[in-house]
Amino acid sequence: MRKQGYHHGNLRQALVDAALKLIEEKGPTGFTLSEAAKLAGVTPAAVYRHFEGREDLIAEASRQGYEIFADVMQYAYDKGQPSALAAFSATGRAYLAFARRYPGHYIAMFESGISVNKTPELAAVSARARGVLERAAEDLSRHIPENRRPPAAMFSAHVWALSHGVVELFARNSPGTASPFPPEDLLESAIGVYLRGLGLIAPDC
């Protein structure tokens, strides 16, 4: 199957797919280009027709991940409309769903050390993903009195950090970090506490 993809001119994507599998199994620094080539069914020399090195290959995996991530976030945002609160909460849940569904992409994006500014294409698509959450935060922040309203970029960064923390600590089977609560419940309650502090959700009775 992999060799057939190569003959049809899909070697570049076959190598990305191989890298994603190896990233998931061994981490972003735990595999070689030779291993990726072998898994794709080609010689190591063939890799250099498309990628300068392993970092370049991982950057492409990251770019593709951000494309999926941005689409997932946009879908969640749209599905929550017309409620600004539902749209905002949905984007937080979408982060966790993406990390679980696409672990190889997630690792390439957030754990490989590859800068989002490595290529213009990677920078653009990562900005698109962040923009969805910022737009959701901006919609919701309009319901906060102006003198108490945080900047939308700060608002969204807080929720991004909450989501990322829950994923890293409790949704990726990290040793010694088992939680007595499902990651979804942890994230939902954390966002709830944050939004209550801003006055966007009524306090529990």
The pLDDT tens digits for 89-132 are 888 888 889 998 999 999 999 999 999 999 999 999 999 999 99
Say if residue 23's pLDDT is above 90: yes
Q: How large is the greatest C-alpha to C-alpha distance in the chain, in angstroms?
A: 66
Output the CA torsion sign for 75, 80, 83, 89: negative
Nearest to 88 by CA among 42, 125, 23, 143: 143
- The fourth-level CATH superfamily of domain 1-51 is Homeodomain-like (1.10.10.60)
Is 1.10.357.10 the CATH classification of the domain at 55-197? yes
More confident residue, 102 or 5: 102
For residue 178, the model assigns a pLDDT of 67
What's the pLDDT band for 57 if we cut at 50, 70, 90?
Answer: very high
So what's the pLDDT on residue 153? 85
Residue from 180, 136, 143 nearest 158 by CA: 136
Q: Where in the chain is the domain with CATH 1.10.357.10?
A: 55-197
C-alpha of 139 from chain center: 22
How far is the C-alpha of 50 from the C-alpha of 130, rounded, in Å? 28
> Which is more confident, 174 or 89?
89
Q: Rounded distance, CA 64 to CA 56, Å? A: 13
> Which tops the pLDDT comparison, 173 or 63?
63
Phi and psi for 155 in degrees, rounded to 5? -55, -55
DSSP SS3 for 117? coil
Outline which parts of the chain fall under CATH 1.10.10.60: 1-51
- Report H helices in the chain: 2-7, 11-26, 33-40, 44-47, 54-80, 84-101, 103-110, 120-141, 152-170, 183-197
Q: What's the pLDDT score for residue 2?
A: 41
The two three-digit tokens of residue 128, written as one number: 């698109």
* Cβ burial 146-182 (10 Å sphere, 16+ → b, else e): eeeeeebeebbbbbbebbeebbeebbbeeeeeeeeee
The CA distance from 101 to 99, in Å, is: 6
For the chain, what percent of residues have pLDDT higher than 70? 89
